Amino acid sequence: MNAHRRDVIGRADGTVLEIKDLEVTFTTDAGEVPAVRGVGFEVAAGEVVAVVGESGSGKSVTARTILGLLAETAVARGAVVLKGSNMLTLGARELRAVRGDEVSMVFQEPSTALNPVYTVGWQIAEGIRAHGKVGRKEAKARAIEVLRKVGIPEPEKRVNYYPHQFSGGQKQRVIIAAALALNPALIVADEPTTALDVTVQAEILELLREVRDDFNTGIVLITHNMGVVADLADRVVVMYQGKIVESAPSSELFAAPREDYTKALLAAVPHLGRHSASEGMVERSGQGKEVLVEARNLSIVYPGRLGTPSFTAVDDVSLHICAGEVYGLVGESGSGKTTIGRAIAGLNKVSAGSLKVFGYEMLDFRERTFKKLRQDIGFVFQDPAASFNPQLSIGECVAEPLLVHKALDARAARRRVDELLEAVQLPAAFAARFPHELSGGQRQRASLARALALDPKLLIADEPTSALDVSVQAKVLELFKELQAELGFAALFISHDLAVVDMLSTWVGVLYRGKLVEEGIGNQVMGDPQHPYTRRLIASLPVPDPVEQALRREAFLKAV
């Protein structure tokens, strides 16, 4: 960036953004719904303000209002003053002039925020050329420059690459580069790391920190992840139901939250190393008990289509799950953890090696012969919204396993459903409701009830809480723990979140690109990881405590 441009960013008063009494109302089929109610905060140059809150708190709507990106059905009032101009009253042409130049945005999903049919260089240059007369060559030169700044290796070559030639983390870097191209005073980052793996997340957070320090850019960080907040934010704004609950400097908020809501929110965040399920254990809990699932040199290959090579999702994995223990399987996306879970449930075919489920060899899988064993396996899916048939009531959904496996009459099934709902702490009246009438947490409880309907010996939980808000997640995990202790089923708990896995499982396996790199008692794996990948994984996980996180960050940067 040239010197002239740097001067343009007026930092005289230091305040880049000022939001006053912002109210946003949506018109929906159910009438008017207020999404943001009287929100106000300021962002200074070179400051990272994190807006945190659970889904529905209005944080994303607030962020979009800053760029003047609101749905047609929304009406906003109040003031969003960006460097002296009110974004709510600007016309379309003025808005276009401001976007990119003064404020830009980093989106949640890097793979959809880039246009797949243009090179990344073209997409960055497009923004540059939209503001002021810049030649094609010069725009490209500047695109290369920003790509270098965000740490893309060989930017001269990569500038001509298409988005699919980059990894997820690199794509997010490209998006940040595009956001930086005109050196805006403010960057709005809406969940910039939610779609990324935790090791990549650490790198992107580091990059955002550099952007703040090097360009003195103000950053509004929208996130639900308190670890990310602790890592990056200078100041935190906590939102709940469209209102600001608390606003404080980061260190203050984490050390001494004032409001009850903030306290509860922070308490619900799982913290690696606290409440470990395997605390004080020296021996595997299922040692010597019956082995329910045994994988020996298991490989699962997804066959390629014509012209594309096949993909090995699980590569030579050996593990076993004993009766009554919770086996935690962690790994990043693409590590094969879900594939293993699905193979045990007979949803995926096994390619090589051996996978024995209750002694049944899954290599010779036949639905007819396996059906009997299905009643001993419960499965909890990741997305509670999609795992219920929208046309059936919760009661009917929970009763489904009973009707399939046991010839129960309607009244007996009904009684059992009531018992199950009570076990997962849902009122019996919920049986008559339909899935869309329940909240995410309630649906996941119902999902648990369905999985436990036949008293299975093994429960497979595939990221059961990753779609839930932290406070809801805490309650569901608590329930899961109680039920497991009470009913004594074995569980395969699959998650990408190390802290969650540590809270629940006594025995942990770490998967990396289809291989099981480490296995052991939970607190030992987390406390003293042996494999370099596990070490990197654990070091990159941000903890919800700014002071501790600063230390961990230094250790992580040293390690990389």
Q: How far is the CB of 24 from other proteins (least distance, A)?
A: 9
Alpha-carbon span 358 to 373, nearest angstrom: 8
Beta bridge partner(s), residue 80: 19
By CB under 8 A, name the one of 1, 11, 20, 26 that touches other proteins. Answer: 26
Q: How far is the CB of 467 from other proteins (least distance, A)?
A: 11
Beta bridge partner(s), residue 292: none
Listed ranges 57-65, 119-127, 137-145, 251-259: which one lies at the site for other proteins (CB under 8 A):
57-65
Structure tokens at 350: 């096994």
Q: What does the per-residue mask of binding to other proteins show for 354-393, with x meaning CB under 8 A?
A: -----------------x--xx-x-x-xxx--xxxxxxx-
Q: How far is the CB of 341 from other proteins (least distance, A)?
A: 11
- 60-89: which residues touch other proteins (CB under 8 A)? 60-61, 64, 68-78, 87-89
Q: How far is the CB of 321 from other proteins (least distance, A)?
A: 17
Among 448, 443, 416, CA closest to 430: 443
Q: How far is the CB of 545 from other proteins (least distance, A)?
A: 26
Q: What does the per-residue mask of binding to other proteins show for 33-52, with x meaning CB under 8 A?
A: x-x-----------------
By CB under 8 A, name the one of 5, 10, 13, 27 that touches other proteins. Answer: 27
By CB under 8 A, name the one of 162, 302, 358, 434 that touches other proteins. Answer: 434
Helices (H), 406-531: 410-423, 440-451, 470-487, 498-504, 522-527
Q: How far is the CB of 26 from other proteins (least distance, A)?
A: 5
By CB under 8 A, name the one of 110, 346, 441, 522 that touches other proteins. Answer: 346
Angle CA(77)–CA(79)–CA(85) in degrees, nearest 5? 130
Query: Could you please report the per-residue DSSP string of 401-426?
Result: HHHHHS---HHHHHHHHHHHHHHTT-
Q: Which residues contact 37 (CB under 8 A, 6 or more apart)?
A: 23, 58, 241, 242, 243
Angle at which helices 470-487 and 260-268 cross, to 10°: 50
3-class state of residue 133 by DSSP? coil
Query: Could you please report the per-residue DSSP string of 41-74?
Result: EEEETT-EEEEE--TTSSHHHHHHHHTT---TTE
Q: How far is the CB of 72 from other proteins (least distance, A)?
A: 5
Q: How far is the CB of 100 from other proteins (least distance, A)?
A: 16
Tell me the number of residues near other proteins by CB under 8 A.
63
Q: Which residues contact 440 (CB under 8 A, 6 or more apart)?
A: 55, 384, 385, 467, 468, 469, 472
By CB under 8 A, name the one of 8, 255, 264, 347 that touches other proteins. Answer: 347
Q: How far is the CB of 131 from other proteins (least distance, A)?
A: 19
Q: Does 55 bind other proteins (CB under 8 A)?
A: yes
Q: What does the per-residue mask of binding to other proteins show for 388-417, with x meaning CB under 8 A?
A: xxxxx----x--xx--xx------------
Q: Does 59 bind other proteins (CB under 8 A)?
A: yes
CA distance from start to end of the chain = 29
Our CB check for other proteins shows the closer of 190 and 206 to be: 190
Alpha-carbon span 120 to 131, nearest angstrom: 18
Rule CB under 8 A: which residues touch other proteins?
23, 25-30, 32-33, 35, 53, 55-61, 64, 68-78, 87-90, 95, 345-347, 371, 374-375, 377, 379, 381-383, 386-392, 397, 400-401, 404-405, 433-434, 436-437, 450
